[in-house]
Amino acid sequence: MKKKPKKGKKLLKKGGAKKRKAVKKLKFKALKRKPKKIAKKKKAIKPKKKIRRVKKISKKPKKIVKKSKIRKARKSRKSSKIKALKPRVYIGKGLLEQLFESQPKVKVLKFFFRNFQDVFTLKQIFRRLRTNVSLVRREIGKLERLGLIKQKKVWLIFKKKRGGTRKEQKLVYCINTDFDFFNELKNLILKSTISSKEELINNVKKIGNIKILALSGIFTGDETAKADILIVGDKINSRKLNTFLKDLEAEAGKELNCSAMSTREFNYRYDMYDRFVRDLLTGKSEVLINRINLW
Band of pLDDT at residue 240, cut at 50, 70 and 90: very high
Q: What percent of the chain has pLDDT over 90?
A: 22
Provide mean pLDDT across the span 61-67: 51
User: Which runs of consecutive H residues, i.e. helices, occur in 119-196?
Assistant: 122-129, 133-146, 182-191
CA-closest candidate to residue 94, choices 233, 202, 208, 189? 189
The Cα 153–Cα 161 span in angstroms is 24
The Cα 282–Cα 109 span in angstroms is 32
The Cα 281–Cα 293 span in angstroms is 12
What does the domain layout of the chain look like in residue ranges?
95-190, 194-290
Topology of domain 194-290, per CATH? Answer: Beta Polymerase; domain 2 (3.30.460)
| pLDDT above 80 for 123 | yes
Summarised one tens digit per residue, pLDDT across range 264-278 is: 999 999 989 898 988
How high is the mean pLDDT of the chain?
76
Which of 1.10.10.10, 2.130.10.10, 1.10.150.20, 3.40.1000.10 is the CATH number of 95-190?
A: 1.10.10.10
Provide mean pLDDT across the span 154-175: 86
Band of pLDDT at residue 65, cut at 50, 70 and 90: very low
The pTM is what?
0.60
The Cα 53–Cα 150 span in angstroms is 68
**Per-residue pLDDT, 233:** 93
| pLDDT above 80 for 137 | yes
The Cα 112–Cα 174 span in angstroms is 7
The Cα 175–Cα 18 span in angstroms is 119
